[in-house]
């Protein structure tokens, strides 16, 4: 039998490696930005066209590369960061595998221009599908400019798996956020299709977060700071009242590298225990600095997962430091059972010295003396130079005087007639039977609310138990679908416009469904980079529900990221109906119960919610009989 194992050609091996390194345009953005940071750049510019499908260009003013380095950088496993396997546990840089540029060059058209400061001219290299097309001298400023064009041009199947431009752009912005927040000492610019998306100057950590997520973020942040031998914790957490239903603003950085860790996320949630609303998630921007020897970052292709040497101690320290910050800045209530508020020093007395009180006693005062004594006499007393008069105390022995004249007064007045014939007594009506029906109310109360959660009504074969939240969700869903498709929603105008703050990414999401939202009854004013102005809302919702409704919608859009118009409309109707449907625990009047039952059975699909959960169950008389 002949040999069947053979070595793969380099271009095929590079395409296989690209499957791990490059999953979408955002992966390319991450790798190129990290290379620019490793080159000690102080200004990095990211230029995107068609959400990275047409062009991804990163320009930096870093150290640049020599002619030999420029050519070697596209070879597999070529790197300047490590020389031995032991170096993997001493990493202070980003890219170290030497696979990124080789993988990118295998699936795109790449143009590299680079120059070192001491060189007079730079180097330009053009590569298509791992094949070097040209290498020549060029005039270029100090640093490196790398352009990646026509991503996945030679792998059509991979290109077909890419989402719409709006979705891919959101992923690019996510990666841009993660890199820029970890390096606030570098200036970053981002452009998409010729328009500026971000302009982030060199700043401190807090300013960088505010520049990314909007000016309103500043008031939401509480600083966290803790230094131990094991780890240094710094950064910010969001105040509990600003917690959102989405997990968008949650960032962990270890040695300035973004990571995902469900274990550390649990530590943060544990610190917020008892302070958050149901299903709300806190915001946090936590920076951990540890010894590189105590972590292993080479366990995942995207390098977003890290193994810690002592996870349990890190968990306890993170939880304790966040709890301390919440208490220190009066965000969390502090219980001190030994403190007496009445003993607190008033503000106007702070800084004054205490004075010893003086007491003067009237030694001649006798409370049992009955005669009137003048204050100036020998029996008088004086307190602080003032005269007081002692009055005669009434004796309790002449209590009979209280009733003098009462008898004569009763005889002079007209006697009261004890005639009770005209008095009517109120008595309860006695019914013949305990369950005798009231003829006036028969037919009016055909529904009953059980535990403020279910509506019970009767049918010919038995009874129906309706889940009020799910039923209302189905009713609103079908109503919203009709309004969106027919653009016939009723809107209520607000007397004062409602201004809500969102990040640029969230506003981008709202813009994609703005037309459908307007068809449901929303009326938008200005859509500025950090704020959304709303002048009208749907008649089925209230003003206080709008912020929660839009947050829920943004979260659903991020999770399901619909592309087609129909699925977008369906998702919008599902999200809004879920947000404003009446909840369990709300008491409904009998008319509301009847309306909900009638509206549910008037729906085209009354049996299930938009998420395919049952809205009601039936109990037949036979099933009830079997219980007995």
The average confidence (pLDDT) of the chain is: 80
How many Å apart are CA 521 and CA 517, to the nearest integer?
Answer: 7
Domain residue spans of the chain: 10-200, 212-328, 449-618
pLDDT of amino acid 368 = 80
Burial class, 191, CB count within 10 angstroms (exposed 0-12 / middle 13-18 / buried 19+): middle
Q: Percent of the chain at pLDDT above 70?
A: 76
Q: Greater confidence, 225 or 408?
A: 225
pLDDT of amino acid 370 = 62
Order the strands of the 454-459 sheet from edge to edge. Answer: 447-450, 454-459, 462-467, 616-620
What are the tens digits of pLDDT across the range 98-121?
Answer: 577 888 888 899 999 999 989 899
Examine the pLDDT at 390 and tell me if it is beyond 50. Answer: no
Examine the pLDDT at 90 and tell me if it is beyond 70. Answer: no
Displacement of CA 138 from its chain's centroid (Å): 49
Section 118-134 average pLDDT: 90
Residues 27 and 53: beta-carbon distance below 8 Å: no
pLDDT of amino acid 462 = 87
Examine the pLDDT at 280 and tell me if it is beyond 60. Answer: yes
Give the dihedral of Cα atoms 428, 432, 433, 435; nearest 10 deg: -60
pLDDT grade, residue 584 (50/70/90)? confident
The CATH number of the structural domain formed by 212-328 is 3.30.230.10
Q: Greater confidence, 571 or 478?
A: 478
How many Å apart are CA 81 and CA 68, to the nearest integer?
Answer: 16
Nearest residue to 479 (alpha-carbon basis) of 509, 432, 439, 521: 521
pLDDT of amino acid 6 = 81
CA separation, residue 493 to residues 329, 523, 525, 536 (Å): 39, 8, 12, 4
Examine the pLDDT at 343 and tell me if it is beyond 70. Answer: no
pLDDT of amino acid 181 = 92
pLDDT of amino acid 146 = 93
pLDDT of amino acid 18 = 67
Examine the pLDDT at 611 and tell me if it is beyond 80. Answer: yes
pLDDT of amino acid 424 = 63
pLDDT of amino acid 345 = 65
Residues listed for the chain = 628
What are the tens digits of pLDDT across the range 547-559?
Answer: 888 887 887 777 6
Lowest mean pLDDT among 270-274, 442-446, 475-479: 442-446
Section 579-603 average pLDDT: 87
Examine the pLDDT at 374 and tell me if it is beyond 90. Answer: no
* DSSP assignment letter at 87: G
Query: Helix axis angle, 165-182 relative to 205-213, nearest 10°?
Result: 170
pTM for the full model? 0.68
pLDDT of amino acid 144 = 92
Whether domain 449-618 has CATH 3.40.50.720: the reply is: no
pLDDT grade, residue 123 (50/70/90)? very high
pLDDT of amino acid 373 = 46
Residues 258 and 304: beta-carbon distance below 8 Å: yes
pLDDT grade, residue 302 (50/70/90)? low
What are the tens digits of pLDDT across the range 456-492?
Answer: 988 888 899 999 999 999 998 888 888 777 766 778 8
Section 85-93 average pLDDT: 60
Read off the tokens for 310: 């002592």
> Coil, helix or strand for 123?
strand
What are the tens digits of pLDDT across the range 502-512?
Answer: 887 788 788 88
Lowest mean pLDDT among 147-151, 305-309, 440-444, 451-455: 440-444
Examine the pLDDT at 331 and tell me if it is beyond 90. Answer: no
Task: Say yes or no: do domains 10-200 and 212-328 share a fold.
Answer: no
Examine the pLDDT at 369 and tell me if it is beyond 80. Answer: no
Q: Percent of the chain at pLDDT above 90?
A: 21
Lowest mean pLDDT among 219-228, 257-266, 395-404: 395-404
The CATH number of the structural domain formed by 10-200 is 3.30.565.10
pLDDT of amino acid 376 = 45
């Amino acid at each position: 039998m002949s040999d069947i194992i053979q070595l793969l050609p380099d271009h095929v091996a590079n395409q296989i490696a690209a499957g791990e390194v490059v999953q979408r345009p955002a992966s390319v953005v991450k790798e190129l930005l990290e290379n620019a940071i490793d080159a000690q750049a102080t200004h990095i510019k990211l230029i995107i066209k068609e959400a990275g499908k047409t062009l991804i260009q990163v320009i930096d003013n870093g150290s640049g590369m020599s002619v030999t380095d420029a050519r070697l950088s596209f070879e597999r496993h070529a790197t300047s960061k490590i020389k031995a396997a032991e170096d993997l546990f001493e990493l202070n840089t980003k890219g170290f595998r030497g696979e990124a540029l080789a993988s990118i060059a295998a699936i795109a058209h790449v143009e590299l221009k680079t120059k070192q400061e001491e060189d007079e001219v730079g180097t330009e290299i053009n590569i298509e599908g791992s094949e070097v097309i040209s290498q020549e001298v060029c005039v270029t400023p100090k640093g490196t400019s790398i352009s990646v064009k026509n991503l996945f041009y030679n792998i059509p199947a991979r290109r077909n798996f890419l989402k719409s431009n709006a979705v891919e752009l959101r992923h690019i912005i996510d990666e841009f956020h993660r890199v820029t927040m970890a390096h606030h000492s570098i200036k970053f610019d981002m452009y998409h299709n010729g328009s500026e998306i971000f302009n982030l100057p060199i700043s401190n950590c807090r300013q960088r977060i505010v520049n990314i997520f909007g000016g309103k973020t500043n008031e939401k942040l509480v600083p966290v700071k803790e230094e131990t031998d094991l780890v240094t914790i710094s950064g910010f957490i969001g105040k509990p009242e600003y917690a959102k239903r989405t997990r968008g603003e949650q960032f962990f950085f270890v040695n300035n590298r973004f990571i995902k860790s469900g274990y550390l996320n649990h530590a943060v949630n544990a610190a917020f225990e008892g302070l958050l609303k149901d299903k709300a998630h806190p915001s946090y921007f936590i920076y951990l600095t540890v010894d590189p020897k105590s972590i292993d970052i080479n366990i995942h292709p995207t390098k977003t997962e890290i193994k810690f040497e002592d996870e349990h101690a890190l968990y306890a320290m993170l939880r304790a430091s966040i709890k301390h910050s919440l208490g220190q800045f009066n965000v969390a209530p502090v219980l001190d059972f030994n403190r007496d508020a009445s003993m607190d020093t008033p503000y106007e007395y702070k800084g004054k010295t205490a004075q010893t009180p003086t007491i003067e006693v009237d030694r001649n005062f006798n409370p049992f003396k009955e005669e009137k004594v003048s204050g100036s006499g020998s029996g008088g007393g004086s307190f602080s130079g003032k005269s007081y008069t002692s009055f005669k105390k009434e004796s309790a022995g002449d209590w009979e005087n209280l009733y003098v004249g009462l008898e004569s007064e009763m005889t002079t007045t007209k006697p009261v007639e004890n005639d009770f014939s005209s008095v009517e007594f109120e008595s309860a009506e006695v019914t013949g039977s305990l369950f005798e029906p009231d003829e006036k109310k028969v037919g009016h109360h055909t529904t009953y609310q059980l535990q403020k959660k279910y509506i019970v009504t009767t049918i010919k074969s038995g009874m129906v138990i309706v889940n009020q939240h799910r039923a209302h969700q189905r009713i609103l869903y079908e109503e919203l679908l009709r309004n969106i498709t027919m653009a016939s929603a009723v809107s209520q105008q607000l007397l004062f416009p409602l201004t809500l703050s969102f990040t640029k990414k969230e506003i981008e999401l709202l813009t994609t469904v703005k037309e459908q939202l307007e068809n449901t009854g929303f009326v938008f004013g200005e859509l500025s980079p950090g704020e959304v102005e709303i002048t009208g809302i749907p008649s089925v919702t209230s003003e206080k529900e709008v912020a929660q409704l839009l947050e829920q919608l943004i979260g659903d859009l991020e999770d399901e990221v619909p592309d087609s118009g129909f699925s977008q409309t369906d998702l919008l109707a599902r999200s809004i109906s879920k947000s404003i449907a009446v909840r369990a625990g709300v008491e409904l009047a009998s008319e509301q119960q009847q309306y909900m039952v009638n509206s549910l059975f008037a729906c085209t699909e009354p049996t299930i919610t938009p998420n395919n959960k049952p809205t009601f169950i039936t109990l037949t008389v036979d099933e009830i009989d079997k219980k007995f």
